[in-house]
Amino acid sequence: MQKREVYKLENNKVMRQRRNCPRCGPGVFLAEHEDRVTCGRCGYMEIKKKTKQ
């Protein structure tokens, strides 16, 4: 993963694209999967809720 995939510039401010891990703190991002978000460092995982169509 490259830095340009994680950060974005808006109005001369750096904005983060992904959430931080609640256990590891700032600087450790959660990986976005189809059905979950995970932390590669500590193993934290959240299941995404499915929407009925």
Q: pLDDT per residue over 4-50, tens digit each?
A: 777 889 999 988 888 999 999 988 999 999 999 999 999 999 999 87
Count the alpha carbons within 13 Å of 53 in the hemisphere toward its beta carbon: 1
Residue 8 maps to a domain: no
**pLDDT at residue 7, as a whole number:** 84
Q: For the chain, how many structural domains are there in total? A: 1
Residue 7 maps to a domain: no
Q: Is the dihedral of CA 16, 21, 24, 25 positive or negative?
A: positive
* Residue range(s) defining the domain that contains residue 37: 20-53
Instruction: Assess contact for 34 and 11: CB atoms under 8 A.
Output: no
pTM: 0.71
Residue 3 maps to a domain: no
Q: For 11-30, b where at least 16 C-beta lie within 10 A, e where not — what string?
A: eeeeeeeeeebeeeeeeebb
